[in-house]
């Protein structure tokens, strides 16, 4: 991931050899010099046009990647920031364009109304908007953004685009794409859910600080294994026979809602199934693994080794004091919050639902900040050209600086931790339930999982009896709206 592929085309022009036995070419043989492929941006001159990027700086929900998008605007010696500065200036020079960043402090609660107000007023204030996933996905359904899938300059086959993540947001109209998720939009990576654990405590418990890493690498890291090690870690430190604050817990996190989201997404459930045209239908109620997920999550959240408290900062402090093996509801981009802990810290992908699951899946959050192009944009081709260049150059300079230097070197304390970050990074794919749960009135995550778990219930069939027909009807209506307003 950190390495940049350099594609070269070799033109071989050797003269025929004089005999089968000849081991060298004749003296007059020639060989054409190697040539590099033509840069796709060669000859493009955007005549000094300004591309206006509304960039979110709000930290209301865990992560914000503006420091990797806008940066400080100058060199300061920080490897990641200086790579951002170089990326931005390189693109400006390459295309003869000016990048203008306009900061927005909207939260996930207010961003939908704020963007909607601007676009419906016909205000051509921004060429690109970077805001939270589920509010922007809802506005995409309502036709407020432009489609990038048919823009020739956008090459979604390139590794700097999160193609699978973007495709999962499509509702099937000619594979139209309205949400931008590529390396330039770095919060997709920064907001990826990850589990942090106390390696020193794990060694004390099991004698092997790498036992969980080995499970991951062997493909055997599951929810059952997580619960097993949580229970091994629990210790009634105050001796009162009751799990309470002061004990050593296996896992500490917030509520069953936010903390549960990555487990459901990472379980690779069939929230939807697509037909031959890519049109989705609601099928969570038909997936037997969904009922299994509810049972396993009930066991996880209501076991004695779990400490639930709706205070992320306090939970982080509790974990950092060395009194919990795992801490949940944290993201890759929060790795730096633990760099000063006194014990060795490790990072893991969220576990598979069961051993039958083929691949790990990494979940972002519904507040992950993604890109959109409002319908008020009057220069779509130019904007897409700049975005393509920004994604490509981010992949070449900013991503290696952040991913390899900042995450893997500055914060990670061993080589295997770096492998875990690779696994998390390489398995980002499922975005549909995060983007559309709210639009579908909670049918993807809230009604099937959050509501029954809050009531300590595992009766999945009863929940789905009423939720599934409603969900399919709402999804059909959403698709109808999407197709009627899609640009």
The pLDDT tens digits for 218-269 are 999 999 999 999 999 999 998 898 898 999 999 999 999 999 999 999 999 9
Could you tell me if 294 and 449 are in contact, meaning their C-beta atoms sit under 8 angstroms apart?
yes
Same domain (yes/no): 344, 229: yes
Model pLDDT, residue 37: 76
User: Where does the pLDDT of residue 68 fall: very low under 50, low under 70, confident under 90, or very high at 90 and above?
Assistant: very high
Element holding 371 (H helix, E strand): strand 369-372
Element holding 50 (H helix, E strand): strand 49-56
Rounded mean pLDDT, 147-165: 93
Radius of gyration of the chain from its Cα atoms, rounded to whole angstroms: 25
User: Where does the pLDDT of residue 34 fall: very low under 50, low under 70, confident under 90, or very high at 90 and above?
Assistant: low
Same domain (yes/no): 201, 338: yes
CATH of the domain at 474: 3.40.190.10
- The CA-to-CA distance between both ends of the chain, in Å, stands at 34
Q: In Å, how far from its chain's centre is CA 419?
A: 17
Same domain (yes/no): 236, 264: yes
pLDDT tens, residue by residue, 44-63? 999 999 999 999 998 887 88
Model pLDDT, residue 22: 34
Q: How many CA atoms lie within 13 A of 376 on its CB side?
A: 16
Q: Where would I find the beta strands (DSSP E) of 80-161?
A: 97-104, 128-132
Give yes or no for residue 20 having a pLDDT over 70: no
Where does a domain end: 389, 415, 441? 415
pLDDT tens, residue by residue, 316-375? 999 999 999 999 999 999 988 998 899 999 999 999 999 999 999 999 999 999 999 999
Same domain (yes/no): 435, 290: yes
> Does residue 17 fall inside a structural domain?
no
Rounded mean pLDDT, 188-193: 95
Distance between CA atoms of 136 and 188, rounded to whole angstroms? 14
Same domain (yes/no): 406, 442: no
Where does a domain end: 354, 383, 415? 415
Same domain (yes/no): 440, 405: no
- What's the token pair of residue 26? 């004749």
Mean pLDDT, the chain, whole residue set:
90
pLDDT tens, residue by residue, 445-485? 999 999 999 999 999 999 899 899 999 999 999 999 888 87
> Does residue 256 fall inside a structural domain?
yes
User: Where does the pLDDT of residue 15 fall: very low under 50, low under 70, confident under 90, or very high at 90 and above?
Assistant: very low
Same domain (yes/no): 349, 477: yes
Give yes or no for residue 486 having a pLDDT over 70: no
Model pLDDT, residue 247: 95
- Of the two residues 56 and 277, the one the predictor is more confident about is 56
> Does residue 149 fall inside a structural domain?
yes
Model pLDDT, residue 399: 92
b/e code 32-63 from CB counts within 10 Å (16+ = b): eeeeeeeeebeebebeeeebbbbbbebeebbb
When divided into structural domains, the chain yields a total of 2
> Does residue 19 fall inside a structural domain?
no
Could you tell me if 15 and 30 are in contact, meaning their C-beta atoms sit under 8 angstroms apart?
yes
Distance between CA atoms of 387 and 95, rounded to whole angstroms? 11
Could you tell me if 442 and 471 are in contact, meaning their C-beta atoms sit under 8 angstroms apart?
no
> Does residue 92 fall inside a structural domain?
yes
Residue 293's domain comprises: 193-365+428-485
Rounded mean pLDDT, 167-191: 90
Same domain (yes/no): 280, 384: no
DSSP codes of every residue in 297-357: HHHHHTSTTEEE-S-HHHHHHHHHTT-EEEEEEEEGGGGGGGTT-SS-EEEEPPPBSSTT-
Rounded mean pLDDT, 183-197: 96
Find all residues with CB under 8 Å of 450, minimum gap 6, and list them.
256, 257, 260, 442
Same domain (yes/no): 377, 455: no
DSSP SS3 for 49: strand
Distance between CA atoms of 247 and 233, rounded to whole angstroms? 10
> Does residue 29 fall inside a structural domain?
no
Residue 101 β-bridge partners: 53
Model pLDDT, residue 284: 97
Q: How far is CA 434 from CA 165, 215, 265, 266, 475, in A?
A: 11, 27, 8, 12, 14
Same domain (yes/no): 256, 380: no
Same domain (yes/no): 361, 371: no
Model pLDDT, residue 259: 95
Name the burial class of residue 216, with classes exposed (0-12), middle (13-18) and buried (19+) by CB atoms within 10 angstroms of its CB. Answer: buried
> Does residue 25 fall inside a structural domain?
no
Find all residues with CB under 8 Å of 317, minimum gap 6, and list them.
none
> Does residue 455 fall inside a structural domain?
yes
Name the burial class of residue 149, with classes exposed (0-12), middle (13-18) and buried (19+) by CB atoms within 10 angstroms of its CB. Answer: middle
Where does a domain end: 415, 446, 474? 415
**Range from 148-152, 309-313, 402-406, 409-413 carrying the lowest mean pLDDT:** 409-413
Rounded mean pLDDT, 100-108: 94
Distance between CA atoms of 83 and 340, rounded to whole angstroms? 25
Same domain (yes/no): 128, 186: yes
């Amino acid at each position: 991931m950190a390495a940049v592929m350099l594609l070269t085309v070799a033109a071989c022009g050797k003269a025929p050899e004089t005999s089968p036995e000849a081991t060298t070419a004749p003296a007059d043989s020639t060989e054409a010099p190697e040539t590099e492929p033509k840069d796709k941006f060669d000859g493009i001159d955007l005549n000094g046009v300004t591309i206006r990027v509304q960039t979110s700086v709000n930290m209301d929900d865990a992560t914000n990647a503006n420091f990797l998008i806008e940066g400080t605007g100058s060199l300061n010696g920080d490897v990641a920031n200086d790579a951002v500065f170089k990326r931005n200036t390189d693109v400006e020079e390459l295309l003869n364009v000016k990048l203008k960043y306009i900061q927005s402090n909207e939260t996930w609660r207010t961003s939908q109304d704020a963007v909607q107000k601007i676009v419906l007023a016909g205000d051509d204030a921004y060429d690109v908007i970077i805001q939270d996933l589920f509010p922007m996905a809802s506005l995409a359904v309502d036709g407020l953004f432009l489609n990038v899938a048919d823009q020739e300059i956008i090459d979604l086959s390139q590794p700097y685009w999160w193609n699978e993540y973007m495709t999962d947001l499509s509702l099937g109209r000619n594979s139209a794409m309205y949400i931008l998720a590529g390396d330039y939009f770095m919060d997709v990576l920064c907001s990826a859910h990850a589990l942090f654990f106390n390696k020193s405590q794990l060694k004390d418990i099991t004698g092997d600080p790498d036992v969980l890493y080995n499970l991951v690498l062997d493909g055997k890291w599951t929810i059952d294994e997580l619960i097993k090690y949580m229970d091994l870690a629990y210790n009634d430190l105050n001796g009162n026979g009751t799990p309470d604050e002061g004990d050593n817990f296996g896992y500490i996190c917030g509520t069953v809602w936010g903390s549960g989201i990555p487990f459901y997404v990472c379980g690779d459930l069939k929230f939807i199934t697509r037909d031959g045209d890519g049109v989705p239908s609601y099928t969570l109620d038909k997936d037997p693994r969904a009922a299994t997920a509810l049972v396993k999550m009930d066991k996880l959240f209501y076991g004695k080794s779990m400490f639930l408290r709706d205070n992320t900062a306090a939970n982080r402090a509790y974990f950092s004091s060395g009194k919990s093996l795992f801490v949940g509801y944290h993201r890759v981009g929060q790795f730096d919050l633990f760099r000063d802990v006194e014990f060795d810290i490790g990072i893991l992908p969220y576990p598979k639902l069961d051993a039958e699951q083929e691949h790990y899946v990494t979940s972002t959050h519904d507040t992950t900040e993604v890109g959109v192009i409002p319908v008020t944009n009057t220069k779509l081709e130019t904007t897409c050209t700049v975005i393509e260049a920004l994604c490509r150059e981010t992949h070449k300079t900013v991503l290696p600086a952040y991913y390899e230097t900042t995450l893997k070197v500055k914060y990670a304390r061993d080589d295997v931790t770096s492998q875990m970050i690779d696994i998390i990074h390489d398995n980002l794919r499922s975005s549909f339930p995060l983007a559309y749960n709210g639009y579908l009135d909670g049918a993807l995550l809230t009604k099937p999982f959050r509501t029954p778990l809050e009531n300590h219930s595992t009766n999945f069939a009863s929940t789905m009896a009423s939720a599934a027909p409603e969900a399919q009807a709402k999804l059909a209506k959403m698709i109808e709206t999407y197709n009627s307003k899609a640009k």
